[in-house]
Structure 1
């Protein structure tokens, strides 16, 4: 009984004793940290003209093609997916995802005011950018949030049409990379693919259902 009361006090304070639950403070620092790290990853990719998969890849394509702000595009491109997120994953997940995407959009817009890079090799940017995005997404996943709607759409298509979500995600990312040839050089596409591979391998190794609970 005493242990239950102590755990309850902890859950109402700075941290939760239940690994599947988080306090408001824990969620707040998780979203902020994940957004800052992911925003830095996007900044490195953008600095050398690279892109990645998912809705961020679409935002990069439009950014390079028309010169519109990446942060603004990243926020707008994700808007159509919030309804699916709400229907499939609930209000809490959708709200935190909305906040995370908003934070990343702001971070990517103000990053250059605090960080100036004199030289950055595309290969190094691809690897570091992929790893930083992986760490950022891992932090967000741990607090039941994400950075894009393609994964949600993939789950919906899987349930509706029986096509595996992983294949849907892969097909979408391949389409992004193919379209990239019309906007950037083949070398840039190659480095971008390296960054996407680093990101996905990192998540495949570190994000496991027996360790992290995204949706309950």
Structure 2
């Protein structure tokens, strides 16, 4: 018999920390794969990649800077605990992305592989932290809030926002890169639609 939310056993501190580390590593890896192929995607990850092609600022730092206004929103509507975890995750992303070039260099990758693999690992990273009461920030926080408050599927909400972000990327990307970027966004949303449904997972 499926446990109710009230009966669910809370995650331990170690489980929460490990989930944030896993999510951080996966999200940064996905960003590196997409960046190497000159692609973007949806959500804050897509915005940070898009701006990284226009500004001489590391993608990890852009990720955190774009998220700043959403931290206050997270604390207001999702609670202080959610906000703290989300801030810690973003700090981890900045640090990990900054260290990544020293330990990981990707010379070349085919755009179809980068789009699919990059989208999947970002999606799994997002799922990892969402299941432990955190978010990657920005649109992800809004999607999680709408899911908890109104029962809207986080994956479908993400798709709507992604359409706007990807539309803006047409001013920077080639038509071919735009098509593969759409695939990466679909891969992220597909992960959330399949495995982050209300009632399927009740632990925090």
Which range, TM-score by smaller chain?
A: 0.7 to 0.9
| Alpha-carbon distance in structure 1 between the residues aligned to 2:203 and 2:168 | 31
Partner in structure 1 of residue 4 of structure 2: none
Partner in structure 1 of residue 22 of structure 2: 33
Q: Deviations over 1:143-189 (max 9, x none)?
A: 1111022243467789xxx9x78676444322211111111211111
Larger Rg: 1
| Alpha-carbon distance in structure 2 between the residues aligned to 1:19 and 1:76 | 35
Conserved 8 A contact 1:54-1:148: no
**Among 71, 75, 80, the residue aligned to 2:60:** 71
Conserved 8 A contact 2:11-2:203: no
TM-score (norm 2): 0.85
Confirm whether residue 43 of structure 1 aligns to residue 32 of structure 2.
yes
TM-score (norm 1): 0.81
Partner in structure 2 of residue 111 of structure 1: 100
Partner in structure 2 of residue 57 of structure 1: 46
**Among 79, 85, 89, the residue aligned to 1:90:** 79
| Alpha-carbon distance in structure 1 between the residues aligned to 2:175 and 2:68 | 30
Matches within 5 A, 1:1-216: 19-153=8-142, 169-213=158-202
| Alpha-carbon distance in structure 1 between the residues aligned to 2:112 and 2:28 | 18
| Alpha-carbon distance in structure 2 between the residues aligned to 1:184 and 1:46 | 12
RMSD: 2.6
Conserved 8 A contact 1:75-1:102: yes
**In 2 relative to 1, CA 90–214 (structure 1 residues): closer, same or farther, beyond 3 Å?**
farther
**In 2 relative to 1, CA 98–209 (structure 1 residues): closer, same or farther, beyond 3 Å?**
same
**In 2 relative to 1, CA 206–149 (structure 1 residues): closer, same or farther, beyond 3 Å?**
same
- In the TM superposition, residue 119 of structure 1 has moved relative to its aligned partner by 2.3
| Alpha-carbon distance in structure 2 between the residues aligned to 1:20 and 1:50 | 40
Structure 1, gaps ≥5 residues long: 1-17
Structure 2, gaps ≥5 residues long: 1-6
- In the TM superposition, residue 19 of structure 1 has moved relative to its aligned partner by 4.4
- In the TM superposition, residue 117 of structure 1 has moved relative to its aligned partner by 2.0
Q: Deviations over 1:24-57 (max 9, x none)?
A: 1111111111111111111111111111111222
